[in-house]
Amino acid sequence: MSYPILEYDSTREAFIEPSKVIQPRGVPEHCVISFFREVIDKVAAEHKARVIVENRWEDGPHPLYEIEYKGRRLAFFHPGVGAPLSASLLEEVIAFGCRKFIACGGCGVLAKEIAVGQLVVVSGAVRDEGVSYHYLPPSREVQANEIAVEAIVKALDKRNLPYLVGKTWTTDAPYRETANKIAKRREEGCLTVEMEAAGMMAVAEFRNVLLGQVLYGGDDLSGEEWDNRQWQTRSEIREQLFWLCADACIGL
């Protein structure tokens, strides 16, 4: 029996190849990817960010911004939600010219002891989504770039912030996170669950750019019932994560 998702094609050039249809824009090489829309808007307004690319998808605008941070040019953008959109926007930003990325987002936790706001540096991801299989041969996991992981850890240590380093579970279907699957992912060492890491890491590896990701603990999937824990209300954590990623990124 043949499964289309496993039919990896190693051909480097796609029919719609980003570098052939997108012109480089002289953008910064360093770029923060933030899944927190309200933080993107706040940083853009308070730091008078310049829109360097007016990018737009069917769900709306995804502009690429630029600010000066610690004497360096720094780009940032919101990548949407889910691996297909975030990976595709990452492809476009790479084609624009960015080369070093640190991403921040939230996640579900698979262990109750991981508190709301606990920071987790992604060391690898279980590939339970579809995007990564179009960029890398089939395998159970994709590993994070060690240089990017080290940059995030260095930025965390400099701020004396506690953190974990571990594996995440990337899925396309949050409403199909069954008790059996949660137990299985915990057994194989996953600390968290989210929807984008494996896809974005696969794109970065395929395109030979640096990308790392740090998550903060959100809703809890470890108990008998789901606990939302009102994780999306932690505005201070979300904004601090942006600047942590900025530090890590310019350190690459």
Counting every residue, how long is the chain?
A: 252
Q: Which CATH superfamily is domain 20-250 in?
A: Nucleoside phosphorylase domain (3.40.50.1580)
Predicted pLDDT at 1: 58
User: 108 and 181 in contact (C-beta within 8 Å)?
Assistant: no
User: 169 and 125 in contact (C-beta within 8 Å)?
Assistant: yes
Burial of 43 (0-12, 13-18, 19+ CB in 10 A): buried
pLDDT lower than 50: segments of the chain: none
Predicted pLDDT at 227: 86
Each domain of the chain, given as residue ranges in start order, spans 20-250
Check residue 176 and report its DSSP letter. G
Beta strands in the chain (DSSP E): 30-34, 50-53, 56-57, 60-61, 64-69, 72-77, 100-109, 119-128, 141-143, 163-171, 190-194, 210-220
The pair of structure tokens assigned to 216 is 């903060």
Predicted pLDDT at 43: 97
Distance CA 49, CA 79 (A): 17
